[in-house]
Structure 1
């Protein structure tokens, strides 16, 4: 179908359990995806390895929320093959302007070390893509995001698909029917990603994740 993705259409699609993709960065069309099995990252089941916990406790980095949404999207698309086409990029920038798409950034020496972005609706966060430019950049971003979402009252972290990388962090795959039941519950009430300050102390984030996982 031609790539026409107004924000209201995108939000209705997420509420129905589907999401858009393109075949490649130069694709002028998008298609809707509704996988039979869905990846989810339990907010109380994030697997924090000893090495990642040590890396986070060492600090030496900063985190931010929505400081550079476009930069995170572009960094995620900066790879040989990507489904983030120009129409999809434009659509998510519009969602961000409306307050429904968010990014979490990890910074080292002023440069983007890692990040993740996605869409919020109800008490659900729909993860779209992540990037790592320094060691464990995306893992640290996910750890801080999981901690923040849980504290803000979110109950569903949708990863769409599952990869070995996500599985090592605790992501699991569930049938479509089970996913839609969780989605329905998440849409019954609202959560606000800006309701609490982002946890910026890595040691405290590690402690909270360890206590809840």
Structure 2
């Protein structure tokens, strides 16, 4: 039985810490509070010209929260560039509970009836904590991220937490900010009521985002 409760996990998010495990097979779960925090500023989110074209092709069927478990499984599966993962059994169960409680959300890329990529995270107030993403087809996770940002902006979210900075996220404009600056932004964000948009048709939001990004790129 899990030692951590989903309610405790929500409290942890509210003060700026998040859970991890050393590996998929390690049963120990610990909380992380980085000195520098990765965030993706929603108002300066960068979409390259090539990705803009990919998104406009609408090659993927974008859905939200239709198979959260499968997205979790996709994020936890080993890949060549990442043979192990931090999602152990306890963390898996915790996020499934958060999804059932209405806090955990997935953005999914489907193609020919198959889930080929996506991401998941946690919404609390107007803060969204991005947890992990995966791709089984080129650009699937990138397209999912564009749709996520469009949904967050349309829903009134003010903070997209990426935890750490990777080369993958840096291309979208992710930045590192000091721990206290992050906590200040978080404290304000969780006070704001925002409801994550889980509807299937988010294309008007995506078009608006791409238009605004093309004017600033």
- TM (normalized to structure 2)? 0.92
Q: Are 2:165 and 1:162 aligned?
A: yes
- Which position in structure 2 is the counterpart of 1:49? 48
1:81-125 Cα shifts (integer Å, max 9, x gaps): 100000000000000000010000011111122101001101000
More divergent stretch after superposition (52-61 vs 191-200)? 191-200
- Which position in structure 2 is the counterpart of 1:207? 211
Q: Give the conservation status (yes or no) of the 8 Å contact 1:3–1:29.
A: no
Q: Give the conservation status (yes or no) of the 8 Å contact 1:64–1:104.
A: yes
> Aligned partners of 1:82 and 1:59: how far apart in 2?
30
Q: Quote the offset at 1:162 in angstroms.
A: 0.6
SS state of the match for residue 43, structure 2? coil
Among 127, 149, 153, the residue aligned to 1:124: 127
Structural mapping, 1:96-175, within 5 Å: 96-175=99-178
> Aligned partners of 1:196 and 1:28: how far apart in 2?
35
Structure 2: 5+ residue runs without aligned partners?
A: none
- Which position in structure 1 is the counterpart of 2:197? 194
Give the root-mean-square deviation of aligned CA atoms: 1.9
- TM (normalized to structure 1)? 0.93
Instruction: Give structure 1 regions of 4+ aligned residues with deviation exceeding 3 angstroms.
Output: 194-198, 200-205, 208-213
1:6-53 Cα shifts (integer Å, max 9, x gaps): 111000000010001001111111111000000000111111111101
Q: Are 2:40 and 1:4 aligned?
A: no
1:171-202 Cα shifts (integer Å, max 9, x gaps): 11100011001001101121100386641366
Q: Give the conservation status (yes or no) of the 8 Å contact 2:151–2:197.
A: no
SS state of the match for residue 96, structure 2? helix
Name the count of aligned residue pairs: 212
> Aligned partners of 1:94 and 1:182: how far apart in 2?
26
Compared CA separation, residues 35 and 8, structure 1 to 2 (3 A): same
> Aligned partners of 1:189 and 1:60: how far apart in 2?
34
Compared CA separation, residues 63 and 76, structure 1 to 2 (3 A): same
Q: Are 2:39 and 1:40 aligned?
A: yes
> Aligned partners of 2:211 and 2:9: how far apart in 1?
36
Q: Give the conservation status (yes or no) of the 8 Å contact 1:39–1:171.
A: yes
